[in-house]
Chain A
Amino acid sequence: MYKKTDIEDLERRIPFTVPSGYFQELKFEIQKQCITKEKDSGFSVFQFKTLVPALGILLVFITLFNNIETTISEVELTKNDLIAYLENNLSDELLYEYAILEDEKEDDELSDEIDYLLEYDMEYNLIINQL
């Protein structure tokens, strides 16, 4: 029967060794690794801190630019939108007046063409066809 060993009585020595001068070299190896990793990462903490605000500013500019474009588009669409708006929101009387004005405008354009044809002695048949 073997006697039980009390480990509290043993010498608490770590039975491992390292190569000679290992810890001196380790310090430099760690420093080298850290510098290499930082270079490999493409940008440092400092660059990261600079890049984030720069990207933020760029994002604001892009957003503003898009808003300006949207405003311009809205201005360009105003004529079409206006007709739709008039159709939906104005009274029948006003729309009737608008339609008369548009007809008169078309008539004026037509009479201008007839005057032009008469002035330059154009064929009457052509004039009639135009009418």
Chain B
Amino acid sequence: MGEYTDKRLLEMFQNAKTRNLAFNHIINQNQERAYWHIRKIVLSHEDANDVIQNTFIKVWKNLDKFKGDSKIYTWIYTIATNESINFLKKKKKHYFESLDLVSYRLSENFSADSYFDGDDIEKKLQEALLILPTKQRIAFNMKYFDKMKYDEISEILGTSVGALKANYHHAKNKIEEFLKEN
């Protein structure tokens, strides 16, 4: 299936006859990277599966209002990020815990998770990531694993490039310190 430009996909989505076809293309082009973005935030596969579906339901409902000011994939990343944070907030309410503590509790399940195949250092790195505040962790993941440009991360998270650079440097030091001590 060939890739369409964002402009073409949006035109197709506006037309009732090609609406479903356009949406299929959008899912195909974005579902994997959106899933991995979400998975790195919520960690468990079952939770990521719920959040990715909610994300695309929101995409479906709101795509006709999308003006095309940004790329479709950055817009989907933004929705996925918000959905993931909201998901963690719901967990926080459920357990009466802080958002960051919820993230930390998620790390306790690494060993039991059948969909985790990391070695010791990868497991340690994931645990180290969970000492970061949630939003800092999300930004770090996007830069470190997804190798996204600061401009793109800035657009998705609504944080200035300068603040992101400082945060990345700070997060890197904290992680390396954690790895040294553990």
Residues of A within 8 A of B (CB): 2-8, 10, 12-19, 23, 26-27, 29-31, 33-34, 37, 45-46
Residue of A8, A18, A19, A30 with highest tally of chain B CB at under 10 A? A30
User: Interface residues of B, CB < 8 Å — how many?
Assistant: 42
Instruction: Kindly identify which residue among B35, B39, B121 contacts A23, using a CB–CB cutoff of 8 Å.
Output: B35
Instruction: Kindly identify which residue among A17, A19, A45 contacts B116, using a CB–CB cutoff of 8 Å.
Output: A17
Q: Are B56 and A34 in contact (CB under 8 A)?
A: yes
Residues of B within 8 A of A5 (CB): 121, 176, 179-180
Q: Are B180 and A34 in contact (CB under 8 A)?
A: no
Residues of B within 8 A of A (CB): 16, 20, 23-24, 27-28, 31-32, 35-36, 39-40, 43, 45, 49, 52-53, 56-57, 60-61, 64, 115-119, 121-123, 125-126, 144-145, 147, 172, 175-177, 179-181
Residues of A within 8 A of B49 (CB): 26
Shortest CB distance A34–B (Å):
4
How far apart are the CA atoms of A45 and B60 in the complex, in Å?
11
Q: Give the dominant DSSP class at B's interface.
A: helix
Q: Are B31 and A46 in contact (CB under 8 A)?
A: no
Q: Are A7 and B125 in contact (CB under 8 A)?
A: yes
Q: Are A29 and B176 in contact (CB under 8 A)?
A: no
Known A16-B39, A18-B45, A34-B57; contact A4-B115, beta-carbon cutoff 8 A: no
Q: Are B57 and A14 in contact (CB under 8 A)?
A: no
Residue in chain A with minimal CB distance to B128: A7
Shortest CB distance A3–B (Å):
8
Q: Are A15 and B24 in contact (CB under 8 A)?
A: no
